[in-house]
Amino acid sequence: MELKRGEFISLVGPSGCGKTTFLNAVAGFVPISDGTLQLDGRNIPGPGPDRAMVFQQPNLLPWRTVLANVTYGLELSTNMPKSEQRDRAHELLDLVGLGDVAHQYPVNLSGGMQSRVNLARALAVEPELLLLDEPFAAIDAQTREVLQVELLRVCAARDVTALFVTHDIAEAAFLADRVCVFGPRPGKIVKEIEVPWERPRTQDLRRSREFLEKCDEIADVLYSSKSAAGSSAQEEH
Ligand SMILES: Nc1ncnc2c1ncn2[C@@H]1O[C@H](COP(=O)(O)OP(=O)(O)OP(=O)(O)O)[C@@H](O)[C@H]1O
Ligand SMILES: [Mg+2]
């Protein structure tokens, strides 16, 4: 798989096929036994500030304010002066629409708001590559659609490249320039599907016939790879 700078790739595939494992490998959290992983032509030696991971659970630190949650990564990984850290965190919180709750504690935020903090926190270290593992899976459908539009806006504003894992086909299609469909474990890319629409994308796109056809195309590849696995598993059995 090859990602171009600024590109948004969605990854879909059956449960247990290795999507999270793949993101963890790209993040440098788990070693790979075969193949190569490179960023700008250099092998990825381990975790680094050029990549940031956004997990499904925001896992914000409850004893820190929203602002202090966003500066946390900077405190750990840089020598940036405190005032500069705070300026950057304020800027990011404004970007994700949470400028007014910077001094609140996580317990006072809704799930969608925590998700936005999670995103701001990942962006604080200014990663080149953002790795997102089902970040909106626990969010209600309506809020999720809003967050998707916001994510695209934030990625464009910061010129980040994104690798986004989801089980939601419409979400994969709405966000991506390209959807990579993984087959069953051990996961391999079965097909890469181009998603042609210009950005910024709007909510209207979701209701269009072309969009629904694109979702069908992705679903066909995904479900046919699953059923192929089911029959080969039965044969083995
Ligand atoms: N390429 C691989 N090499 C070794 N182990 C793998 C590989 N892919 C998957 N696994 C194993 O399969 C398990 C499930 O993989 P993983 O959690 O990455 O799946 P997933 O696609 O993220 O599933 P879900 O959609 O349910 O989150 C892992 O715990 C890991 O042990
Ligand atoms: Mg997973």
pLDDT class of 236 with cuts at 50, 70, 90: very low
Nearest of 12, 9, 1, 5 to residue 220 by alpha carbon: 12
Above 60 in pLDDT, residue 167? Answer: yes
- Residue 179's DSSP bridge partners are 10, 193
Question: What is the pLDDT at residue 138?
Answer: 86
- List all residues 6 or more positions away from 68 whose beta carbon is below 8 Å from its beta carbon: 61
For residue 145, the tally of other CB atoms under 10 A from its CB is 17
Per domain, the residue ranges of the chain are 1-40+136-149+162-237, 51-126
**Which residue among 24, 136, 185 is best mutated to probe the pocket of ligand 1, counting the most ligand atoms within 8 A of its Cβ?**
185
Evaluate whether 187 touches 157 at the Cβ level (below 8 Å): no
What is the C-alpha to C-alpha distance for residues 83 and 87, in angstroms, rounded to an integer? Answer: 6
Pick the residue whose CA is nearest to atom 25 on ligand 1: 15
Above 90 in pLDDT, residue 90? Answer: yes
For residues 119 and 186, which has the higher predicted lDDT (pLDDT)? 119
Above 80 in pLDDT, residue 99? Answer: yes
What mean pLDDT comes out for the span 47-66? 93
What tokens appear for 191 in the block?
């097909």
Say what the alpha-carbon torsion angle 46, 51, 57, 62 is, to the nearest 10 degrees: 90
Question: What is the pLDDT at residue 27?
Answer: 95
Whether 56 is in the pocket of ligand 1, judged by its Cβ within 6 Å, is no
Distance 20 CA to ligand 1 centre (A): 6
Whether 20 is in the pocket of ligand 1, judged by its Cβ within 6 Å, is yes
Evaluate whether 187 touches 16 at the Cβ level (below 8 Å): no
Q: What is the bridge-based pairing of β-strands 178-182 and 189-194?
A: antiparallel
pLDDT class of 45 with cuts at 50, 70, 90: confident
Above 90 in pLDDT, residue 100? Answer: yes
What mean pLDDT comes out for the span 123-141? 92
Mean of per-residue pLDDT scores for the chain: 91
Above 50 in pLDDT, residue 228? Answer: yes
Above 70 in pLDDT, residue 131? Answer: yes
pLDDT class of 149 with cuts at 50, 70, 90: very high
Edge to edge, the sheet with strand 129-133 lists 51-54, 129-133, 161-165, 8-12, 178-182, 189-194
Pick the residue whose CA is nearest to atom 3 on ligand 1: 186
Q: Which CATH architecture has domain 1-40+136-149+162-237?
A: 3-Layer(aba) Sandwich (3.40)
Looking at residue 100, its amino acid is D
What is the C-alpha to C-alpha distance for residues 48 and 50, in angstroms, rounded to an integer? Answer: 5
Above 80 in pLDDT, residue 97? Answer: yes
**Which residue among 10, 15, 20 is best mutated to probe the pocket of ligand 1, counting the most ligand atoms within 8 A of its Cβ?**
20
Nearest of 25, 93, 103 to residue 65 by alpha carbon: 103
Buried b (16+ CB within 10 A) or exposed e, 42-62: eebeeebeebbbbebebebee
Question: What is the pLDDT at residue 124?
Answer: 92
Above 90 in pLDDT, residue 49? Answer: no
Distance 81 CA to ligand 2 centre (A): 36
